[in-house]
């Protein structure tokens, strides 16, 4: 077997989600879903992931920092990504992310 095929952690994405929100956005939201499954951070009845843009880019290294910011804005504008700040220090502007699963489900009802 060729060592260049599946020799590292693969990204998973649903083709139907790509059609609805775009490839980059679908990859991001799928990864966020994976992180949320393992998250122990719960606020307001939702699980959250707290990451800086730089941390997101390190994890999703196929995207540049500017692309990560564009993806976050795109998903936020579509109301699929919920962004909040639960940091104890007011000066800490690190975003907390969750998925709007209700809105995501509505995409598939159409």
Structure confidence at residue 25 (pLDDT): 97
Q: What are the structural domains, with CATH classification, of the chain? A: 19-37+44-109 (1.10.10.10)
Round to whole Å and give the CA distance between 17 and 88. Answer: 35
Confidence category of residue 4, pLDDT binned at 50, 70, 90: low
Q: What is the model's pLDDT at position 12? A: 85
* pLDDT at residue 30 is higher than 80: yes
- Band of the pLDDT at 29, cuts 50, 70, 90? very high
So what's the pLDDT on residue 73? 98
Q: pLDDT at residue 5 above 90?
A: no
Residue 61 has pLDDT above 80, yes or no: yes
CA distance linking residue 15 with residue 37, whole number of Å: 21
Instruction: Tell me the pLDDT of the chain averaged across its residues.
Output: 90
Average confidence (pLDDT) over 72-78: 97
């Amino acid at each position: 077997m060729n060592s260049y095929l599946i020799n590292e952690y693969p990204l998973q994405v649903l083709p139907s989600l790509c059609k609805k929100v775009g490839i980059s956005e679908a990859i991001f939201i799928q990864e966020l879903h994976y992180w949320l499954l393992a998250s122990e951070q719960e606020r307001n009845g939702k699980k959250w992931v707290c990451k800086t843009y730089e941390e997101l880019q390190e994890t999703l290294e196929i995207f540049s920092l500017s692309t990560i910011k564009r993806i976050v804005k795109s998903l936020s504008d579509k109301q699929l990504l919920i962004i909040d700040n639960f940091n104890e220090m007011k000066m800490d502007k690190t975003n907390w992310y969750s998925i709007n699963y209700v809105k995501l489900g509505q995409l598939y009802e159409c």
